[in-house]
Structure 1
Amino acid sequence: MARSCPHQPPVPSPVERARATVLRAGGATLLVDPHAGAGAGDGGRVVPVLHHVPASGAATLQFPADHPLVALTRVHEYVPAMLELTDSTPLPVRQPVRGLVWIAGRVRLLPARVARRAALRIAAEATDERLLDVGHSDVLLRMDPGSVVLSDAEGTGTFTPAQVAAAPHDPLVTSGDEWLAHLARAHGSLLTGLARHLPPSLRHPGATLHPLAVDRLGLRLRVETDRGDHDVRLAFAAPVACSRMLGAEVRRLAEVSPAATGAVHRRAAGR
């Protein structure tokens, strides 16, 4: 992942960023001892069929019932493991990874009745037909977390699960990526306006600008050049509490009138 330039505007605290990364991460890989017989041929790395990770890090992981890791949990009640969560940009860029979180702990097999209830709770948040296999061809494992480590463009940090669960919630954590993709796809005028905040060395015809990440305090842009990738963070005038405020702040930074960007405002407001 690209590292941000020094002397950046204010950013959310490391523990707040860890919470947001846990909730937003789309990729999950479980790392177990390759000599433990868990069927992990790639250095002990196994990928669950489905993962659901709350802010506490107590992940629920779906695996085929005949998976070697499941067999291992039937022999050993608790299996030491580390869950790697990858937060990637919704846009195609050369270095798509925005942040990584590693949750160290132990995994255990959920009893069938508990697994069915857990599957129903997960489905209530986000419907996924793969959950229909729980209790039939698939089972659920639960990770009991012990520690959480963050690495992103702003820095690193190590936390307890309780600290991450208690961290402030970013109001854009679930909607920000969709907003960024829409901004890049349909609002070139806003991007052109935002480009005026780039350092002079990055403002040249050969550079490609992408909206990379957004949080309550600001927007991060990725500039791809023939000399490498560079991240530039733009601060909002005040913390945003909703997508409507986000649209107003981005227009302010771009110095584009509301009338010229009414569509992005309506999309950000969910209308």
Structure 2
Amino acid sequence: MSDTETRRPPAPHPAERARTIAARSGPAALLPQSGTRTSPLLHHVHPCGTTVLLLPDSHPLVATLWQTPRAEATAMLEIADQAPVPLREPTRGLLWITGWVQALDGTAARDEVLAVADAKPDHRLLDAGNGATVLRLTPASLVVADAEGTSSLRPEQFASAQPDPFCGSEDHWLRHLEIAHPDVVSQLARHLPDQLKGGNVRPLGLDRYGLRLRVEELDSDHDVRIAFSRPVDTPKELGAELRRLMGCPFLTQRSV
């Protein structure tokens, strides 16, 4: 096996990947220890990992939490990281936050809603107290899973990391790359391992360490990371690395 097949290029730390998924705020599902899987009306993960959710007042979990004062329930929130371009398998990664969920009212609920509004205004917050109940999920542990691997995290590790600097612009950039610059994708595809050449190559992801491509074959998908020569933080640095990648990128592959 060659070095390019065994040596993995640099990638974001698991805590950074987890913070990025949380910041992107993709589709989420709440899984109470006792109850059924449900999609919250809204979720927001604070930098410390504490998560605010809105559920309809009529939801069974809300009724359960109100039955006993100060009651808490064990629950897990699953957040999906969706690719910005339409793929056969759109989920790039998953973040699971496990902890204790509590229903809030009065000042506690109002303070949480205002904190979320300050960080990320959302019209759905207006439903709090008007048909929706505010819940707070206090994390005990987190798990991030994607093509880079699966890692368990402590809340303090999550809190000490930062989201990727390009997570806010990644969607727009990758859609533009696919629609307006298929020639660039084709040039990058020349550096794929021989066994993957001929598959349908799609832009999958961008972070400060490099680009990711998805190769869709007849019966399987493969994610390939093409590393930058160094981590980048600005659009100017990103442009320089993209021009360099038209040369001889350093890559490895991982099947998904």
Structural mapping, 1:204-223, within 5 Å: 204=198, 207-223=199-215
Q: Aligned to 1:189, which of 167, 179, 183?
A: 183
Assess if the C-alpha contact under 8 Å between 2:23 and 2:163 holds in 1.
no
Q: Cα deviation per residue 1:199-224 (whole Å; 9 max; x = unaligned)?
A: 122222xx211111111111110011
Tell me if 1:146 matches 2:134.
Answer: no
2:29 maps to 1:29: yes
Deviation at 1:22, TM superposition (A): 2.3
Contact 2:100 2:139 in 1 (8 A): yes
Residues 1:161 and 2:130 aligned together: no
Deviation for aligned residue 1:112: 2.7
**1:97 alignment partner in structure 2:** 91
CA offsets 1:130-166 (integer angstroms, 9 cap, x no match): 1111121112100011011111111111111111110
Name the structure 1 match of 2:131. Answer: 137
Greater mean deviation of Cα atoms: 240-249 or 46-55: 240-249
Aligned to 2:230: 238
1:181-239 CA-to-partner distances (Å, cap 9, x unmatched) read: 221122112212211221122222xx211111111111110011224211111010111
Which amino acid in the other structure matches residue 27 of structure 2? G
TM-aligned CA distance change 1:198 to 1:69, over 3 Å: same
Q: Which amino acid aligns with 1:18?
A: A
Query: How far apart are residue 78 of structure 1 and its match?
Result: 0.7
Q: In structure 2, what is the Cα distance between the partners aligned to 1:185 and 1:117?
A: 43
Aligned-partner Cα distance in 2 for 1:185–1:54: 34
Tell me the amino acid that sits aligned with residue 203 of structure 2.
Answer: P
Instruction: Find runs of 4+ consecutive structure 1 residues off by over 4 angstroms.
Output: none
Hey, what's the Cα distance between the residues in 2 that align with 1:51 and 1:127?
12
Given that 2:19 and 2:47 are in contact with CA atoms closer than 8 Å, whether structure 1 keeps it comes out as: yes
Q: Is the Cα contact below 8 Å between 2:17 and 2:163 reproduced in 1?
A: no
Tell me the distance in 2 between the aligned counterparts of 1:196 and 1:177.
Answer: 24
Which residue is 2:243 aligned to? 251
Contact 2:99 2:141 (8 Å CA) reproduced: yes
Compute the RMSD of aligned alpha carbons.
1.8
Amino acid in structure 1 at the alignment position of 2:215: V
Deviation at 1:25, TM superposition (A): 4.0
Contact 1:149 1:157 (C-alpha < 8 Å) held by counterparts: yes
Instruction: Tell me the distance in 2 between the aligned counterparts of 1:90 and 1:21.
Output: 13
**Contact 2:25–2:44 at 8 Å: present in 1 too?**
no
Distance 1:112 1:90 in 2: 38
Decide whether the 8 Å contact of 1:16 with 1:164 is kept in 2. Answer: yes
| Number of the residue aligned with 2:61 | 69
Which residue, out of 108, 115, 135, partners 2:109?
115
Distance in 1 separating the partners of 2:128 and 2:194: 55
Give the whole-Å Cα distance in 2 for the aligned partners of 1:99 and 1:71. 32
Per the alignment, in what secondary structure is the counterpart of residue 115 of structure 2?
helix
The alignment covers a number of residue pairs equal to: 241
| TM-score, with structure 2 as normaliser | 0.87
Per-residue deviation, 1:94: 1.3
Amino acid at match of 2:18: A
Contact 2:84 2:171 in 1 (8 A): yes
2:80 & 2:74 partners in 1: Cα distance?
20
CA distance in 2, matches of 1:154, 1:111: 40
SS for the counterpart of 2:78 is: strand
